[in-house]
Structure 1
Amino acid sequence: MVCENTRPIFTAMPNADTPIQIEACDLVVAGGGIGSLVAALTAARTGARVTLLRPRQGVGAGFVSLPHDNNVLLDVGCRRFDFTQDMHALPLAHYQLGARTRPFAGHARTFIENVLALALSPTHPPQLSYGGKLVPDFATSLDLTSLKHLVSPGDLARIIQETDNLLSSDAPSPYTLGLGRWPDLAGTRLEHASLINHGPTFHARFIEPFAQKLYADGWKDMPADLTAKIWTPLFFPRTVNQGARQVIDRARPAVTYFYPAAGHFGAFVSQLVAKVDGAENIRQISHNRLTSLANEKGQIVAAQVDGPPLHWSCPFTLGVSVDHYFDLAGIEAPVEKLPIAIVWVEIAQDDLLSDLDTVMVFDPGTPVYRVSRAGEGARDGHAILALEMTGGPNVCDAFDAPSTLAQLGLLREGASLTRLRAENEVKIIAPSQTNRQNLRAARTALEARGVSPVLIGTLNDLKADMLNDQILQGLTITQAL
């Protein structure tokens, strides 16, 4: 396995009747995701005595690498570090949940490189595929000057005119971007936010077909502040307008992605787990599943599915899955999820037509929305790619990877490849208003029982589970407490 324990973990004996009292503890961390592991390690580094309630399965969540035949490791889709900062970096003490993470990105990088001692390498610049043409990715480069090569002259003129009208409006929308303050996009829908910032032509050519690939039934009505959950960009009207006029307009530097030098993203999880396992003042209790949380005379009581209840009176954090959180809170509501499919292939480097690392696929004629290098252990002269697409039952069976890659301008015509693995339905949390409301209801239900943990990741809010968010929440755990 990619994530093995490096030292013994205390395990509660199944069917034991005697409760386990967690004593001599300053912080209990319940969860095995990135934010929980970073929180446990960060608190321990300050001298706090930490008890980590670690699940036996699911540590690292979707950031682990999947073992395959012949020592091949496969990333679960595109996994990258983004340390791009705004023009002005801010001290970590200024970080607040829900705030933009770019001013604090340097702190995440320092933790990964210095505390975890994980070697990183910059990747090739991300690209965008549209109509079989490859150009710099709009969202990461903020270079939209290639618009003239991707759309007709008539569409280009309409994009300029429509964004001119948006920029000259005497009464801009409160959700218009680039007016000197960042609007609260939670108050509007993605479709509306796109139209008032991009105009109808750019929206129809790029935003709508891309968003439909990931969230066909709900993208129009999803809260606009969750757009990153389906990797759909929102641009300043000025950025679109200037790009159509062949001018690069950037409010921040172009993004450079980083990747573990080990060649697979699971190296990050393995190194994080190793540091947690090696921390002398982190006691770990392994469990299959916590079934309930209650407050009894000022003590938190956590029941286990196959072991004695755990009791503690110190502060605690909670970073479990959304399904698990709803169960703990007694919320009888299904978690809305989106199915995505992933096909991993091995391909000869010479057959690739580009220095490919990450390609966002805006072509409306294919269900694929992203192609990326995604694993380690390929044969000499070969690379492992992950093709991510709209999911569903048996969708991978009829998928033709060679013709799709050729259509996208990535693969030499007639080249062959080896399919390594396929997953038809990898479920991710839908960025829906319903899920957001149910998360708030779960928090209220637990608080009514006297249970008020510091929440980590998605449990805080749907937009709080991006990788940098999780790392920053872990790094600021002591100030959150």
Structure 2
Amino acid sequence: MPEPIVVTGGSMAALATADALASAGQSVELLVPAKGVGAGFAPMRKDGRALELGVRLLELHYEGAEAEQVPPLAEYHPEIGGHRPFTPLVHDWIAERAGDRLVEAERARMAIDGRVVDDLYFTTDPSVLHDALSDEERAVIAAEARRAAEVEGDAGLLAPERAGELAGMALDEASIACHGAAFHARLAEPYAAKVLAGGTSAVLATLRRKAWVPLFWPRTLAQACGDETVTFHPDRPFHTIAGGGAGQIVDILMERLRAHPNAEVRTVGALEAIAPANGSGVRFEFSDAGTIHAKRPVIGNAPAELFGAAGVEYTPAKARTVILWIEVDDADLLWAPALLNVVDADCPVLRVSSGGSAAGPAQRILTVELAHDQDPAAAEPAVRDALERFGVIREGAPFTVAMAAAAPTFALPTAENVERFARARDELRALGLDADIVGGAADFAADALNEQIVQALKVTEERS
């Protein structure tokens, strides 16, 4: 019998790779950590509840990405948006595992000036601005966008030939150049300022999806806010998994792997050291499992853990995430938003989403993400006001704060962090590990779920 392919780490890329390899007939040994399986995509468990770590929705369709036009997996490179041409493969892979539990989520919404309208940020649909803004605001934005189109061209900085120029810009600079000052001040900066300190000035334009602030062609924005026909028609519905939310994909994968005859799942402690093995392969040292030698493994450990085990310095500045999980009776819930983005600067709530599972059958968990500078211990009154104001719960409805937390989470999408990552990755590559590296350590922008699944499919195709 051939030796099993060793896969290490608890990232979604590690789990997906082990599952895909086993399904392709390969023998697999998955070494997962005692804590943190599924990384940030897995919900926390507390007192019989499953609490998702922020909004968790599946992006399984993009305009222009059709099943008959998927390029060969060999052409995939981990980078921001690199997964998009391969989205049909991600859809089919998740659908095969979730079955009829995979359902389309309700359309995302946003709250602006106290009103709830269709969302702009996650859908990137500029046509919603007709209902979101006043006639006067749209007229100003349309005029500025037309001027931007005259100066920068219809596509502005999003023209393919200007990719190098965009790569060196902060998001605020790119937003003002493409949209004008009015749109930027009204919709881009207020939202980004809630996500992270520094707002759009702290985000690289190419990493705007990390802050969920879109860039539009100047001509598209002029059309959406003027009287012209909008020629850009995004088709990006979100999906979830019925019965508890998208985070259930972690449980589905682990159940499949533990039951699969081609897979063995072992729990190990922290990865403390990694180096090329004498002769061939890779030597791993775990805190509780000693030394393990593996021939051409797949490494899916988190970047900080992997770089640290290799003796490589990597300490990125991180965003602060603040969340309250609210448990409310179904009878008091007027609306369970799949996603509600809150633009209004005077409201400390950033996003409201539903997912996870409550302690009782007639209750629902709402995940309420707050602006990065909020104190979760003092946020309950503001959260109640927002949920009542936006018609999520009835006025005066009792609810329980199942948990409140504030912690550093994702690496800030700054030029400094990208440079730190690049240096660490170069040092890791210099070790000459005979392995495939998947997950967040593959590229600074490759930690999104879709990116990790495409990485898994590519490695499986190469190994089969």
Alignment TM-score, normalising by the size of structure 2: 0.89
Partner of 2:353: helix, strand, or coil? strand
Residues 93 and 476, structure 1, Cα contact 8 Å, conserved in 2: no
Any unmatched runs of 5+ in structure 1?
Answer: 1-22
| Distance (whole Å) between structure 1 residues aligned to residue 433 and residue 199 of structure 2 | 33
1:120-139 deviation line (CA, Å, top 9, x unaligned): 12221110111111111113
1:105, CA displacement in angstroms? Answer: 1.6
Residues 376 and 404, structure 2, Cα contact 8 Å, conserved in 1: no
Q: State the match for 1:62 in structure 2.
A: 40
1:296-332 deviation line (CA, Å, top 9, x unaligned): 23332112223321112x3222221222123123233
| Distance (whole Å) between structure 1 residues aligned to residue 229 and residue 326 of structure 2 | 35
| Distance (whole Å) between structure 2 residues aligned to residue 227 and residue 385 of structure 1 | 26
The count of aligned residue pairs is 455
1:42-81 equivalences under 5 Å are 42-69=20-47, 71-81=48-58
Q: State the match for 1:4 in structure 2.
A: none
Letter in 2 for 1:139: Y
* Aligned with residue 125 of structure 1, among 107, 122, 134: 107
1:112-151 equivalences under 5 Å are 112-115=94-97, 117=99, 119-151=101-133
1:160, CA displacement in angstroms? Answer: 0.7
* Aligned with residue 213 of structure 2, among 209, 218, 232: 232
Letter in 1 for 2:115: K
Q: State the match for 1:37 in structure 2.
A: 15
Residues 133 and 409, structure 1, Cα contact 8 Å, conserved in 2: no
Partner of 1:462: helix, strand, or coil? coil
1:412, CA displacement in angstroms? Answer: 4.0
Q: State the match for 2:5 in structure 1.
A: 27
Task: Indicate how the Cα distance of structure 1 residues 247 and 280 shifts in structure 2: closer, same or farther if over 3 A, else same.
Answer: farther
1:148-195 deviation line (CA, Å, top 9, x unaligned): 5544544322201111112223x5499622x47783543322112211
Partner of 1:342: helix, strand, or coil? strand
1:37, CA displacement in angstroms? Answer: 0.9
1:329-363 deviation line (CA, Å, top 9, x unaligned): 32334221111111111334565555622111111
| Distance (whole Å) between structure 2 residues aligned to residue 382 and residue 287 of structure 1 | 36
| Distance (whole Å) between structure 1 residues aligned to residue 434 and residue 421 of structure 2 | 14
Q: Which moved more, 1:440-449 or 1:373-382?
A: 373-382
Partner of 1:176: helix, strand, or coil? helix
Q: State the match for 1:183 in structure 2.
A: 163
1:197, CA displacement in angstroms? Answer: 1.7
Structure number having the greater helix percentage = 2
* Aligned with residue 375 of structure 1, among 335, 350, 356: 356
1:466, CA displacement in angstroms? Answer: 0.9
Task: Indicate how the Cα distance of structure 1 residues 255 and 64 shifts in structure 2: closer, same or farther if over 3 A, else same.
Answer: same
Q: Which moved more, 1:342-351 or 1:157-166?
A: 342-351
Task: Indicate how the Cα distance of structure 1 residues 456 and 186 shifts in structure 2: closer, same or farther if over 3 A, else same.
Answer: farther
* Aligned with residue 449 of structure 1, among 431, 445, 448: 431
1:25, CA displacement in angstroms? Answer: 2.5
Task: Indicate how the Cα distance of structure 1 residues 459 and 250 shifts in structure 2: closer, same or farther if over 3 A, else same.
Answer: farther
Residues 318 and 411, structure 2, Cα contact 8 Å, conserved in 1: yes
| Distance (whole Å) between structure 2 residues aligned to residue 143 and residue 349 of structure 1 | 31
Residues 64 and 75, structure 1, Cα contact 8 Å, conserved in 2: yes
User: Does 2:70 align with 1:91?
Assistant: yes
1:185-227 deviation line (CA, Å, top 9, x unaligned): 4332211221122111000111111111112136414321211
1:352-387 deviation line (CA, Å, top 9, x unaligned): 555622111111112321111122236566432111
Q: Which moved more, 1:339-348 or 1:24-33?
A: 24-33
Task: Indicate how the Cα distance of structure 1 residues 299 and 379 shifts in structure 2: closer, same or farther if over 3 A, else same.
Answer: closer
Residues 287 and 304, structure 1, Cα contact 8 Å, conserved in 2: yes
| Distance (whole Å) between structure 2 residues aligned to residue 106 and residue 448 of structure 1 | 35
Q: State the match for 1:104 in structure 2.
A: 86
Letter in 2 for 1:80: L
Q: State the match for 1:329 in structure 2.
A: 310
| Distance (whole Å) between structure 2 residues aligned to residue 41 and residue 466 of structure 1 | 18
Task: Indicate how the Cα distance of structure 1 residues 448 and 462 shifts in structure 2: closer, same or farther if over 3 A, else same.
Answer: closer
Q: State the match for 1:259 in structure 2.
A: 240
1:271, CA displacement in angstroms? Answer: 0.8
Task: Indicate how the Cα distance of structure 1 residues 37 and 145 shifts in structure 2: closer, same or farther if over 3 A, else same.
Answer: closer
Identity of aligned residues (%): 28
1:408, CA displacement in angstroms? Answer: 4.0
Partner of 2:369: helix, strand, or coil? strand
Q: Which moved more, 1:233-242 or 1:182-191?
A: 182-191
| Distance (whole Å) between structure 2 residues aligned to residue 262 and residue 251 of structure 1 | 34
| Distance (whole Å) between structure 2 residues aligned to residue 330 and residue 173 of structure 1 | 48
1:445, CA displacement in angstroms? Answer: 1.8
Residues 174 and 183, structure 1, Cα contact 8 Å, conserved in 2: no
Letter in 2 for 1:37: L
1:437, CA displacement in angstroms? Answer: 2.0
Letter in 1 for 2:172: E
Task: Indicate how the Cα distance of structure 1 residues 379 and 304 shifts in structure 2: closer, same or farther if over 3 A, else same.
Answer: closer
Partner of 1:375: helix, strand, or coil? coil
User: Does 2:410 align with 1:431?
Assistant: no
| Distance (whole Å) between structure 2 residues aligned to residue 72 and residue 125 of structure 1 | 25
Partner of 2:163: helix, strand, or coil? coil
Letter in 1 for 2:64: M
Partner of 1:139: helix, strand, or coil? coil
Q: State the match for 2:320 in structure 1.
A: 339
Residues 348 and 374, structure 2, Cα contact 8 Å, conserved in 1: no
Letter in 1 for 2:19: L
Q: Which moved more, 1:350-359 or 1:370-379?
A: 350-359
Partner of 2:107: helix, strand, or coil? coil
Alignment TM-score, normalising by the size of structure 1: 0.86
1:24, CA displacement in angstroms? Answer: 3.6
Letter in 2 for 1:245: G
